[in-house]
Amino acid sequence: MSAPSMTQNPVRTKMDTRTIVSLAMLTGIAYIVMLVSKLMPSVMFLDFDFKDVVICIGGFTFGPSAAAIISILVAFIEMITISTTGPIGFIMNALATCAFCCTASFIYKKMHTKKGAVLGLACGVVCLVVVMLLWNYLITPLYMTGFSRADVAALLPTLFLPFNLAKGGMNMAATLLLYPPVVGALRRSGVVPQSQNSQGKKFSAGFALFALALLATFVLFALVLAGVI
């Protein structure tokens, strides 16, 4: 009875190690993308951020728990390196990313098709908007001096809602565009395991055009919010 376990443990350990290394790599990439995203125009004190694309790719590949781990790690590293909002900023950052990425990854895990990816990401955008409206109303007055809760409530429909919609929409479109080729390359290189179900995974020109059109729409929306155009 002991022989089979002796042969299975090394394989399991190898897979676990490979997963940990992959998550660490995705965490580093997400942090770099976050830093580059700081170059984008902001809307008042709110910054657009594309790190959720990397985290969604990790969640789609390894599951929603992986998305949660990467989200918390990146938010923590950001807090101790460049953030000026401390623990409150960490909580808001982690909540926003988990709301979007974990929701999308959970639905995609249940519906492992292109339709599932689109539905999961769309639900992730809705969850992001709802969660951040609630938490901005509760938390923002605690660290923004000069803003009462009534002031924040007035900003919910005019600032927080359109900002999070634009941010979520851009991350949704970019994830749809980048996930198939990126994960295909990672699987060919052996960084992530091969998928057991390849049905509906082929990257089509029509799907790419849909993602590009969606991305262009939300980028324009973001530029309008930022006052660039």
This prediction has a pTM of 0.87
Report the CATH number at residue 147: 1.10.1760.20
Distances (CA, A) of 58 to 9, 75, 175: 25, 15, 11
Q: Could you tell me what percent of the chain has a pLDDT over 90?
A: 62
β-bridge mates for residue 43, sequence order: 46
Which pLDDT tens digit goes with each residue over 65-108?
999 999 999 999 999 999 888 899 999 999 999 999 999 999 99
Query: Taking a C-beta distance cutoff of 8 angstroms, is the pair 62, 19 a contact?
Result: yes
Specify the higher pLDDT residue, 16 or 64.
Answer: 64
User: What is the average pLDDT score of the chain?
Assistant: 87
Q: Using the predicted structure, report yes or no on whether residue 199 has a pLDDT greater than 50.
A: no
Q: How many domains does the chain have?
A: 1
Q: Give me the amino acid identity at 147.
A: F
Nearby residues of 29 by Cβ (< 8 Å), 6 or more positions away: 54
Query: Which CA distances in Å does 133 have to 130, 154, 162?
Result: 5, 11, 10
For residue 7, pLDDT over 80 is answered with no
Domain hosting 69: range is 2-225
**What per-residue confidence (pLDDT) applies to 193?**
65
Report the C-alpha gap between 198 and 20 in whole angstroms: 24
Greatest extent of the chain over all pairs of C-alpha atoms, in Å: 70
Confidence of residue 202 (pLDDT cuts 50, 70, 90): low
Contacts of 49 (CB under 8 A, 6+ apart): 33, 34, 37, 167
The residue assigned the tokens 């565009």 is 177
Give per-residue pLDDT as tens, 129-180.
999 999 999 988 887 777 888 999 999 999 999 999 999 999 999 999 999 8
Q: Give the least confident one: 135-149, 177-191, 196-210.
A: 196-210
